[in-house]
Structure 1
Amino acid sequence: MAALRELALTASMRAFAFPLALAGLVAVSPAIAAGDATDRDRCAATRPFANPAAIAALRAGVNLPNWDEDGTATIPRSRTLTTLREWGMSHIRLPIDDERFGGEHEGAERYLAALSEEIAELQKLGFSVSVDLHPGARLADLYDRDPEAALRAVMALWTDLAPIVGRFAASQTFAELLNEPPTSFEVWRDQLPRLARHVRTLLPHHTIVAAPFGPQRHEALDAMMPLDDANVVYAIHYYDPFAFTHQSADWVDAKTLGVLAGLPYPSPEGDPAMARILRDLDARGESAARIVLSNSLLDGWTEASVDRAFDAMAAWSHRTGAPVIVNEFGVYSGGAPRAARLAWLSTVAKAAASRCMGWTHWDFEDGFGLADKSTGRLDAGVLDALSGGLAEPRSAGSRQRPDGSIGRMN
């Protein structure tokens, strides 16, 4: 998830990529820009791909972080996940903890066995699965100190992961090389092709999921050359406006985002509700938070600003012929007003689907979740907000119960 590095990287990313993004917008085809989310034949015709089953499988899904923690195995959650499958989700993204396996790591064999069991259970429920190498602080630190040593470490991790992924069908199991690569544009431009070739030798037929450097912002696509591999999907994370999606997220920055709450969405220029919030921050002496919020508002907090970002992604995809997936997007529920959160989710899911892009919500049952961790109950409002981004209507057997939960009703 874009978090600790996002605030520091966003400004430099925009300065680096904005002129290219404007140029790329000219290349958007009318069919892509104005597409109908239900017209999958049009999407298939627009995006011929080496593994067409992967494009269909990646159309809508959810991230499942913490699947590997004690007490959070898939089997007790299978009923909830089954409901999501019936509702229309087809894809689960599994973040893999690089600090739990590799080399002589104690417990590595047990961790990889648990991963294999998890994939099997999820695919038994009908989901495709992305195995997402999700680096922690140790690997990020190694990238800071010695990028070549870090690349060797990532390659070694994939040498261990690939036999697990390779046990499962290539049409339903995908290898995501590295989440939010914790390095610079120049380093990643050199390393990504090398890493992809290494994984391709290990997994000749499985679809690879590749990403631009850093927080995987959409602006980075325009400076990214597609790999010389016809079986690669390119993944973007979308959390704009970051001050909105991460309001009250004190683990990112307690003095700025941590004190923001109740922010509206959409919030057009001159919005009186936002003006009141800015005045309140001034009155409370929260100058740092006010500056972050004011700067964020310059990029726009409307459907039009979302459309500009997704048009840029669609332009790159159209120009290169490479498919794009937004495999993280979401709003932290701790500070966002419910109606605003649902409006943002609806806007983003529709923007992705109308441009033939798959999407994967962050996350399942944590702070950004669509389910309650203690009860397993799905949030009907979140699912309704996401439903506009489905390629197919929800199952006729899946109905909202009188208590507001979601499930199959006989």
Structure 2
Amino acid sequence: MGNTMEADQEGSWGGAAISAEDFARISEAGFDTIRLPVRWHNKTLQQAPWTVDPAWMDRVQEVVDLALAADLNVILNSHHFDPIHEDPLAVAEWHGAVWAQIAERFEGYPEDSLWFELENEPHNNFDHSNLLETLEPALEAVRARHPTRAVIIGGENWSGIDSLATLPLPNDPNIHPTFHYYDPFEYTHQGASWTAPDMPPPGRDFPTAEDRQKLAADVEKVRSYIERTGHVPFMGETGAYDLHISTEDRAAYHRTVTQAFAPTGIGICVWAYANTFPFWDRENGEWLPGMRAAMGLPE
């Protein structure tokens, strides 16, 4: 559900507020899970006890309830908790206090259909050297009320696939690793202004022979990770920006990635539902052609 609740304010990035109709549509299309990115750090007191704005917590709960009512699984995360990526250990207590409030609000929710993802895409100063120590307050807060609920943890460098090789995980059987897949970045993010000053220029095609080789190698990285650790990772994001890539080519990208990783048995969430990397065309009120079929769903 990208570019909605992780924006500065819900829908402020050119999107729209989430509605029950969105989830009914997603469920009817054959998807079974939504990932709900939520920005928390600007919705709390900026000092202890870091109380979350009650109206915001109510709205997040409302959206989770709407998704569950549509028979969808929900991955609820913390997204763009910006200070944690600059000074991880100094922000850990704040981050943990927010998760304590999330954990309290969702106590008693079904474990099989609501998962927690502690923080999206660690980067900058938030890396594997401090990942577990930084997330410890959040995980302890969650486990105090949800001892066996599934918790997702991603690695450094924006949770790219190579982060799996050295991803540290707590000794907890209900922790699930995640990675994000936007490779080749020069293709998926061509013309994406938010990547400046290193914005990939438009005009990159996919797949080249080199792309196919890299994709095969990346699939092998996942196979090796599963064999080595016993953990089956989850692809939390994948997609291609629609500004300079046609819908037909975006569908081909998703189809290629989905089919390549299918033998590993991993789950996949796509970025995103509507508004930037979209599957649903909100303006015309229709699913973009070929996009659902690329994921193995009926058109």
Regarding TM over 0.5, the answer is: yes
Structure 2 residue 271 is matched with structure 1 residue 362: yes
Among all aligned residue pairs of Structure 1 and Structure 2, give the percentage whose two residues are the same amino acid: 21
Match of 2:62 in 1: 117
The residue type equivalent to 1:248 in the other structure is G
**2: CA distance between counterparts of 1:248 and 1:254?**
11
Match of 2:78 in 1: 133
- Inter-CA distance 255–227: structure 2 relative to 1 (3 Å threshold): closer
Q: Deviations over 1:299-340 (max 9, x none)?
A: x322x3212112212211222111210010000010124433
- Spell out the pairing of 1:3-402 with structure 2 (5 A cutoff): 63-67=1-5, 68-69=10-11, 72-75=16-19, 78=21, 80-103=22-45, 108-141=53-86, 143=87, 147-182=88-123, 183-193=126-136, 195-253=138-196, 256-257=199-200, 260-268=201-209, 300-302=210-212, 304-387=213-296, 394=298, 400=299
- Inter-CA distance 197–178: structure 2 relative to 1 (3 Å threshold): same
The residue type equivalent to 1:95 in the other structure is P
1:354 is displaced (CA, Å) by 2.0
**1: CA distance between counterparts of 2:238 and 2:53?**
30
Q: How many residues align?
A: 288
The residue type equivalent to 2:292 in the other structure is L
**2: CA distance between counterparts of 1:213 and 1:150?**
17
- Inter-CA distance 72–355: structure 2 relative to 1 (3 Å threshold): same
**1: CA distance between counterparts of 2:84 and 2:136?**
19
1:234 is displaced (CA, Å) by 0.8
1:219 is displaced (CA, Å) by 1.2
Name the TM-score, length of structure 1 as normaliser: 0.65
> Which structure has the higher relative contact order (CA within 8 Å, separation 6+)?
1
Bigger shift: residues 309-318 or 90-99: 309-318
Unaligned runs of 5+ in 1: 1-62, 269-299, 388-392, 395-399, 401-410
The residue type equivalent to 2:4 in the other structure is N
Name the TM-score, length of structure 2 as normaliser: 0.87
Q: Deviations over 1:180-234 (max 9, x none)?
A: 1231321114434554334222321311011112310111111124321111111
SS in 2 for 1:380: coil
Larger Rg: 1
Per residue, is there more helix in 1 or in 2? 1
Unaligned runs of 5+ in 2: none
